[in-house]
Structure 1
Amino acid sequence: MILGIYGTGGLGREVLELAKQINNVQHRWNQIFFIDDFRDEKNFQNCQVTSFQELKQINNHDDIEIIVAVGEPKNRKMLAETLQTEGYKFATLIHPNVHIPASTEIGGGTVICAQAIISCDVVIGKNVYIQPNALVGHNTVIADNTIISGLVHVAGSCHIGHESYIGMNACVKEGLKIGNEVIIGIASVVVREIPDTVIALGNPARPMKTNEDKKVFK
């Protein structure tokens, strides 16, 4: 198989390192390349770089699987939808030191980084990114295209909506619902439900304003 990493930014480089660590154990990919629509150079981190338009010129892509490596949830959704429309397969990357219980479901295109703890009966959607040392408690649902940053603790029986972003070192109390397109600020402590399209932060986390443009990185 061949792995295409969509994005050459910081997250793309992290995904490359994760893929190498997986390959050292599982030997999944014979080749790894980057997809980037804005980078002019054709070699980056010792990998070939191609645009998506160039990739589409390859008639047979049965042996190619792609992972989205951008940190903006809105853009993750857009790229994933484009790839799906064009018929590309999605890779799922899980660090070798992460244990996934048999009762847990993980959607295609999801990334789970080193030292993450994923409990039993968890449902993780498509194209989710879980960064190092995050914890996801039992019976929690994480919807599509969401980012769970490093050191985040999500307790059991929570529901986190699609295209949301949980900032580094935040904590979410058990049994809570966090809406769609929500941003939870760094080190925030969530002890009550957060509605859709809200930016919340603090201890305890409070809605501060509406996420009007539905973007994390301005």
Structure 2
Amino acid sequence: MTPLLIVGAGGFARETAQLVHAVNDVSPTWELLGHLDDDPAKHGTAVDGVPVLAGVDEAAAWDDAMIVVCTGSPRDYASRARIVARLGLPPERYATLVHPGAHVSRTSSIGRGSVVMAQTVLTAAVSVGAHVTVMPHVTLTHDDVVGDFATLAAGVRLAGGVLVEPGAYLGSGALVRETRTIGSYALVGMGSVVTHDVPSEEVWAGVPARFIRPATVIHGAQT
């Protein structure tokens, strides 16, 4: 089995560990070594039975292990991009994890470092970039394109031909009309219905979704 490290030890990281167990139940694939997290209080502990080994920068010490970065929330949804830049690892070091309960069509693709949770559907010619989070019960329909580092929270539904630009965050249950664009690092609130393009680095919410305020996005080397 291939050694695997999960960066982060919060909710998303814990869910990803359970995805890894589900994959291994079907076909032993991953040797889950543990979590890496920058909170020193977590070092030497375990979350859901999986050890927290060290800080994030120690990833380079396990040069035979694959990595998946599992951080991010509506409060800081640019964290994955910052951590990947900080680690500076080649793309081939990143694992792509797809739950066995997800349906990915033969004409769809998923990039390195991305995580696709259970009961998601990629119907036809869907392109998911690198380091993307696709939470449970997401539906991506024909010709959708999801850029690197985007986050699709549970229950998001995209109609055909939607473009989600890099780093955007779509909250739980958001619906997006066909051929619309969600701009880079935009934030769409949970339960919103998007009928117009959403510009980059703006917060939109409501039914129909409308501009709320500029987004607060932490770019750069901060962790």
- Answer yes or no: is the 8 Å Cα contact 1:122–1:139 preserved in 2: yes
For 1:26 and 1:38, locate their aligned partners in 2 and report how far apart those are by CA, in whole Å: 33
The 10-residue stretch of structure 1 (152-161 or 88-97) with the greater mean CA deviation from structure 2: 88-97
In structure 1, the residue matched to 2:78 is 74
For 2:102 and 2:57, locate their aligned partners in 1 and report how far apart those are by CA, in whole Å: 35
- Answer yes or no: is the 8 Å Cα contact 1:165–1:183 preserved in 2: yes
Task: Give TM-score scaled by structure 2 length.
Answer: 0.89
In structure 2, the residue matched to 1:109 is 113
In structure 1, the residue matched to 2:6 is 5
In structure 2, the residue matched to 1:95 is 99
1:214 to partner: Cα distance: 5.0
1:42 aligned onto 2:44: yes
1:78 to partner: Cα distance: 0.9
The 10-residue stretch of structure 1 (203-212 or 126-135) with the greater mean CA deviation from structure 2: 203-212
- What RMSD in Å do the two structures reach over aligned CA positions? 1.6
1:150 to partner: Cα distance: 0.6
1:212 to partner: Cα distance: 3.9
Q: Secondary structure at the match of 1:199?
A: strand
Q: Secondary structure at the match of 2:78?
A: helix
Change (3 A) 1:113 1:35: same
1:157 aligned onto 2:158: no
Change (3 A) 1:140 1:26: same
- Structure 1's unaligned 5+ residue stretches are none
1:80 to partner: Cα distance: 1.6
- Paired residues, what number? 211
Percent identical pairs in the alignment equals 27
- Answer yes or no: is the 8 Å Cα contact 1:169–1:186 preserved in 2: yes
Change (3 A) 1:212 1:73: closer
For 2:109 and 2:185, locate their aligned partners in 1 and report how far apart those are by CA, in whole Å: 22
Q: Secondary structure at the match of 1:73?
A: coil
For 1:164 and 1:203, locate their aligned partners in 2 and report how far apart those are by CA, in whole Å: 19
Change (3 A) 1:201 1:28: same
In structure 2, the residue matched to 1:202 is 206
Instruction: Please identify runs of 4+ aligned residues in structure 1 that moved more than 6 A.
Output: none
Q: Secondary structure at the match of 1:80?
A: helix
In structure 2, the residue matched to 1:180 is 184
- The CA deviation string for residues 65-88 of structure 1, in whole angstroms up to 9 with x for no partner, is 1111112431110112233x2447
For 2:8 and 2:118, locate their aligned partners in 1 and report how far apart those are by CA, in whole Å: 20
1:185 to partner: Cα distance: 0.5
For 1:113 and 1:206, locate their aligned partners in 2 and report how far apart those are by CA, in whole Å: 29
- Answer yes or no: is the 8 Å Cα contact 2:110–2:128 preserved in 1: yes
Q: Of the candidates 190, 194, 217, which is equivalent to residue 190 of structure 1?
A: 194
- Answer yes or no: is the 8 Å Cα contact 2:78–2:217 preserved in 1: no
- Answer yes or no: is the 8 Å Cα contact 1:178–1:194 preserved in 2: yes
Q: Secondary structure at the match of 1:30?
A: strand
- Structure 2's unaligned 5+ residue stretches are none
Q: Secondary structure at the match of 2:203?
A: strand
For 1:170 and 1:86, locate their aligned partners in 2 and report how far apart those are by CA, in whole Å: 33
Change (3 A) 1:30 1:171: same
Q: Aligned partner of 1:23: which letter?
A: N
In structure 2, the residue matched to 1:27 is 28
